[in-house]
Amino acid sequence: MALLLRELEYVRPDSLEDAVRLLSELPDAGLLAGGQSLINVLKMRIGGYSTLIDISRLRELKAIEVGEKSLRVGAGVTYDELMHSMEVSLHRPTLVDVVGRIADPQVRNRGTLGGNCCYNDPTCHLPPILTAIGTVFEARGSHGTRMIPASEFFVSYYQTSLGPGEMLVALHVPKLKSRSGDGFVPLSVGGTDVLNIIAGAATVTLAEEGGIEEVVIVVTGASERPIRLESVEEGLKGTAGQPDDADRAFSLLDLALLDPPDDVHASAEYRRDMVPVFTRRALEQAMKNARRGIHD
């Protein structure tokens, strides 16, 4: 590996339309968003593309719009831009927190939401939280636009359900409902938010009397894609969400769901052991945030 890339072609279309067209027309072409993953892939010379379509300046991908039930966040919004978005901090504050923890200021000034989701590295911050909160992905290809729920978007390591010639244009993020809260707790090397070994994400909605009405718990790093701990969710629904409720619910965790990788950062066994720890911490954070919502 070096700072020497293979020869490649570069094009910077002026419009989204052109970008979509080029993507389907050009052979072996790929999108260059923030480049904070793709440039490293190119340095390795084992993957990447021979033509890069630079979408980092496309204004159409930069918009953040507030709809009735959800926010539409352009795929080209950088982490830094998102952190400074009033709309997002009002309607889904957790996203501001989560992207604020990604890597460092330099990476946050370039990396984009779309790139993070499309790269779909198991250590990425966004896939678990976006899955937990029920994000819908808006994809555009030469055949038009389609909407893909998070549960279908993230397919496997570095794979999404985007088809050839298709690009992600926006993320539809549900607005936080009342009495709801989100949580995101990663286990990272050195505890400093790089290289998440696993990450737990959760969102809960409480009933007026404080019991758990709805809950989604997601983990990444424990399998090839973000997975929902549905048995635990079922066990929690209708309970008051007290520690012994959580104990009971987590005892229902379906370990067969988990197929964690073994790598330099952690063994599969350790990852498996950490699943209940970090998902539970995410749940607790979500509960705390939701209760704060009630008291506000």
Partner 1 sequence: MSQTLTEDKVSIKTWSGQSIPRKEDGRLVKGQGRFADDIRRHHEAHVYLLRSPYGHARIRAVDVSAAEAAPGVIATLTGAEVHFLQKPFMQIAPLPGGYIEDYCLAVDKVRFMGEPVVAVLAETAEAARDAADLVEVDYEPLPALITGEDALKDDGPVLHGKVGSNVVWHGLYDWGSIDEAKRKADKIVKIDRLHFHRFTSTPIECNAAVVEYYPGSEEYTIWCNNTMPQFAAMFMGPALGIPTDRMHFITQDIGGSFGNKITNYVYIAICAILAKKSGRPVRWTEYRTDHILGGSHGNERTFLDIEVPVKNDGTILGIDARAIDDCGAYPRYEPLGSVIWSQVVPGAYQFRNVRVDYTQVVTNKCPVGPNRGYSRLQHLWMLERVIDIVAHELNLDAVAIRKQNYIQPEQMPYETPNGCVYDSGDYPRCLDLALDLIHYDHWRQRQRELSGTGKLIGIGIGSTLDSGTNNFGQARIINHDLPFSGNGEVSNVKLDLYGEVVVTIGTTPQGQGHETTAAQVVADLLGLHPDQVRVLIGHDNGRNVYTGFSGTYASQFAVTGLGAVRGAALKLKNEIELLAAGIFGAAPDAIELVDGTARVKGKAEMAIPFIGLANIVFANNATIPDGLDVSLNCTYTYRPSFKIPDVERKFGNLTLTYATQIHACVIEVDEATGETKILEYGAADDSGTLIHPQIVEGQVHGAAGLGIGAALYEALEYDAEGQMISPNFYAYKAVTAVDVPMIKTAAIESPSPFSPNGAKGMGEGGGAPLHAICSALQDVMYQRTRAIVSDSYNPAERVYRLLRQSETANRGVHVIENRA
Partner 2 sequence: MTEPAKSKTIRVTVDGIEYTRDVEARTLLVRFIREALNHTGTHFGCDTGHCGSCSVIVDGKVVKSCMVLAVQADGADIETVEGLANPDGSLHPIQQAFSQYHALQCGFCTPGVLMAAKYLLETNPHPNEEEIRRGIKGNLCRCTGYVNIVRAIQSLANEEEVRV
Ligand X SMILES: Cc1cc2nc3c(=O)[nH]c(=O)nc-3n(C[C@H](O)[C@H](O)[C@H](O)COP(=O)(O)OP(=O)(O)OC[C@H]3O[C@@H](n4cnc5c(N)ncnc54)[C@H](O)[C@@H]3O)c2cc1C
Residues that bind partner 1 (CB under 8 A): 1-4, 6-7, 45, 187, 189-192, 194-195, 263-267, 270, 273-274, 277
Q: Calculate helix-pair angle for 243-250, 268-295, nearest 10 degrees.
A: 140
Least distance from C-beta 190 to partner 1, angstroms? 5
Is residue 192 within the footprint of partner 2 (CB under 8 A)? yes
Least distance from C-beta 206 to ligand X, angstroms? 29
The listed partner (partner 2, partner 1, ligand X, none) that binds 12, CB under 5 to 8 Å by sort, is partner 2
Rule CB under 8 A: choose which of 43, 62, 228, 281 binds partner 2.
43
Residues 46-85 as x/- pattern, contact with partner 2 by CB under 8 A: -----xx-x-x-----------------------x-----
- Spell out the residues 6+ positions from residue 53 whose beta carbon is closer than 8 angstroms to its own: 11, 12, 13, 19, 22, 23, 26, 29, 30, 31, 32
Distance CA 83, CA 227 (A): 26
Q: Which is nearer to partner 1, 71 or 246 (CB)?
A: 246
CB-side neighbour CA atoms (13 Å) of 150? 24
Is residue 96 within the footprint of partner 2 (CB under 8 A)? no
Maximum Cα–Cα distance for the chain, whole Å?
A: 63
Is residue 142 within the footprint of partner 2 (CB under 8 A)? no
Query: Applying CB under 8 A, which part among 5-13, 65-73, 151-159, 196-204 lies near partner 2?
Result: 5-13
Q: Which two tokens stand for residue 7?
A: 């020869």
Distance CA 69, CA 37 (A): 32
The listed partner (partner 2, partner 1, ligand X, none) that binds 10, CB under 5 to 8 Å by sort, is partner 2
**What are the CA-CA distances from residue 119 to residues 114, 124, 134 (Å)?**
8, 8, 19
